[in-house]
Amino acid sequence: MGITKASRNKEQRANSVWQRTLKSSVSCVGVGLHSGKPASLTLQPAAIDAGIVFKRTDIGGAAIPAKWDHVVDSRMCTTIGDGNGVAIGTVEHLMAALAGCGIDNAVVEVDGPEVPIMDGSAQPFVAMVATAGVVNQDAPRQVIRVLKTVSVETGNSQARLSPGSCLSLDVAIDFASGAVAKQSLSIGVVNGSFARELAGARTFGFLHEVEKLWAAGLAKGGSLDNAVVVSGDKVLNQEGLRFDDEFVRHKILDAVGDLYLAGAPIIGNFHGVRSGHATNNALLKALFTDSRCWKYDLLRGDETLSAIDGDIFPELAETA
């Protein structure tokens, strides 16, 4: 007698990694990096299969799904919109933290046009998740499994996704400044590596570019408190760098956040050369344009660790 559908489903569920949401709500306040406007942000639990949804509470609570096809601007940051003129900018660091902490479902309430920059990294958002706690939900975690290699080029930037056993990223950057120069790093976002190796890496900019942005009325909230600022071959921040290669680590952090706009964790290898938000979004567009390159699947407990850091706070995870 063969294996019944019911027994297969039972076995599948027993071997599944569960969806997770926050155990409770948690809030923070800060300033928008580009708008310079004060902003408060609240993370709230969400139902099974809800995904990550942003809401602008200052203009009627308009809901914006955190999805690649809702990206409306990717020049200075990643901005998502509802198609009716309502937008929220600089979502990438928060999205990276939610990906790294294994949060599948959450509501993000923001009372302004931009997620607060905090210290320029994802670490404050990871700390928020730790404070709120996480809870397992009674549904398996769905992932996007890369089946065939897909690649894009935008200007001198390149990005590629290829099949893999977890989310791994290989990124190279190249800047004229001696403080940055050429840096590269390969890392798998597994077994808590996001919190240890990536979350603390801050966004960075060059003084001459920042001064031009200020003169144009942009980057109004930028300061040495929320960004690494480079002048020539020197880092201006008195405390220096958090990592010797903090610049490339932040680029990887950005990629983790941008890729989570796929709508589910990606199982695959990301390779980027001078890649940024626009290239990352173009890569997702290329991936989803060709159905042969990907499929929805369930994350199995016997796979290589986890596609995302679902075990980052195992002591906080409870079953709903």
Catalytic residues: 277
How crowded is residue 204: how many other Cβ atoms within 10 Å of its Cβ?
Answer: 21
Distance CA 94, CA 315 (A): 22
Contacts of 120 (CB under 8 A, 6+ apart): 33, 93, 202, 203, 204, 226, 227, 228
Return the DSSP state at 300. B
HSE of 213, CA atoms in CB hemisphere, 13 A: 18
Return the DSSP state at 85. S
- The secondary structure element, H or E, covering residue 142 is strand 142-146
HSE of 234, CA atoms in CB hemisphere, 13 A: 5
Alpha-carbon distances, residue 160 vs 125, 133, 146, 190, 257 (angstroms): 27, 34, 11, 20, 16
- The secondary structure element, H or E, covering residue 95 is helix 92-100
HSE of 201, CA atoms in CB hemisphere, 13 A: 21
Task: State both tokens at 197.
Answer: 């190796």
How crowded is residue 100: how many other Cβ atoms within 10 Å of its Cβ?
Answer: 30
Distance CA 181, CA 210 (A): 19
Task: State both tokens at 162.
Answer: 């290829």
Q: How far apart are the first and last CA of the chain?
A: 36
Length of the chain: 320
Q: Give me the amino acid identity at 221.
A: G
